[in-house]
Amino acid sequence: MLADGTKIDYALGVSVAKYRGLRTISHGGSDAGYRSYVVWFPDQQLGIAVLSNLANFNPGNIANRVAAVYLGPQMAAEPPKPQPVTRTFVTLDAGSLDQYEGYYRLGGEMLIRVIKQDGTLMAAPVGAPPIELRPMAQSRFYAAPMQAEVEFTTKPGNGMGVKLVQPGGTTEGERVSVTPFDPKDLAQYPGRYWSEELETQYTILLKDGKLVADHAHHGEIELTPVAKDQFRSATWFMPEVRFLRNNAGAVIEMTLGGNRVTAVHFARR
């Protein structure tokens, strides 16, 4: 259970769920061209592990089919396949899209920029190619590449909130004011940053005018500026990097985050 009371099926590093009525404990893995999946049926004392060196292989599906061979009589009927969602799109006055433009912070870490381009609303993480938001209603849009519905809600004082609904869950955020990045600030970030939680360290370096996060295992990871004290990287486990300051304006901390974890703190040493 999450802090807000939301129940999820991920606990202590594994998925705790049910497959066709039977309790399961499972996890999958992927790296490069390798795919794997392991599932345990605790009540039936059956474990299945599937390994593959084919990138488009689905080990979870194979594991479920093997389980059906052994446990079929104990399983409930397969649920009906979900029907594709039918969406209806509308045409909006281009001028009405201006109210949604700006920067939005989602999930505490990710910075999204929403712009109007040639009469069409577009959105993307800062520094990434923009994605078209097709209107479904005045304040509701659909981003096809992300399979996401995006809904804007007005707030007092010209504020604007946003909700991103995807098959994997819902993320909310709000429009924020962003101070542009100043290249002169780069010299303020280098140093050693330590996470007590992960017991690991990143050394932030300034090399050839670019900021780099150096790790003993992962090597050097280039950080691309998106706003004051906020950077992005192409590394999947730390796409969002933010630096925090004290009241005197000195950089004292770094947080890393992404779609699987947010705001992992690294104190500057």
pLDDT in tens, 178-211: 888 899 999 999 999 999 999 999 999 999 999 9
Domain chopping of the chain, boundaries:
10-74, 94-176, 183-268
Location of structure tokens 């992927």: 30
Assigned CATH topology for domain 183-268:
Lipocalin (2.40.128)
> What pLDDT, on the 0 to 100 scale, is given for residue 8?
82
DSSP helix/strand/coil, 51 = strand
Question: Looking at residues 5-12, what average pLDDT do you find?
Answer: 82
Residue type present at position 252: I
- Please state, for a pLDDT cut of 90, what percent of the chain lies above it: 68
On the question of pLDDT at 260 being above 90, the answer is: no
> What pLDDT, on the 0 to 100 scale, is given for residue 75?
95
Provide the β-strand partners of residue 26: 15, 39
Assigned CATH topology for domain 94-176:
Lipocalin (2.40.128)
pTM for this predicted structure: 0.68
> What pLDDT, on the 0 to 100 scale, is given for residue 101?
95
Average pLDDT of the chain?
91
* 232-259 residue pLDDT tens: 898 888 888 999 999 999 999 999 987 6
* 105-138 residue pLDDT tens: 887 677 889 999 999 999 988 777 899 999 999 9
> What pLDDT, on the 0 to 100 scale, is given for residue 193?
98
On the question of pLDDT at 66 being above 90, the answer is: yes
151, burial (CB in 10 Å: exposed 0-12, middle 13-18, buried 19+): middle
> What pLDDT, on the 0 to 100 scale, is given for residue 129?
86
Is 40:46 a contact under the CB 8 Å cutoff? yes
Same fold? 94-176, 183-268: yes
Question: Looking at residues 96-102, what average pLDDT do you find?
Answer: 94
Q: What share of the chain is helix, strand, coil (3-state, %, to 5)?
A: 10, 50, 40
DSSP assignments along 151-205, one per residue: EEEEETTTEEEEEEEETTEEEEEEEE--PPP-GGGGGGS-EEEEETTTTEEEEEE
Residues 230-239: contacts with CB within 8 Å, 24+ apart? 230/111, 230/126, 230/181, 232/125, 232/126, 232/127, 232/128, 238/213, 239/110, 239/125
Is 67:49 a contact under the CB 8 Å cutoff? no
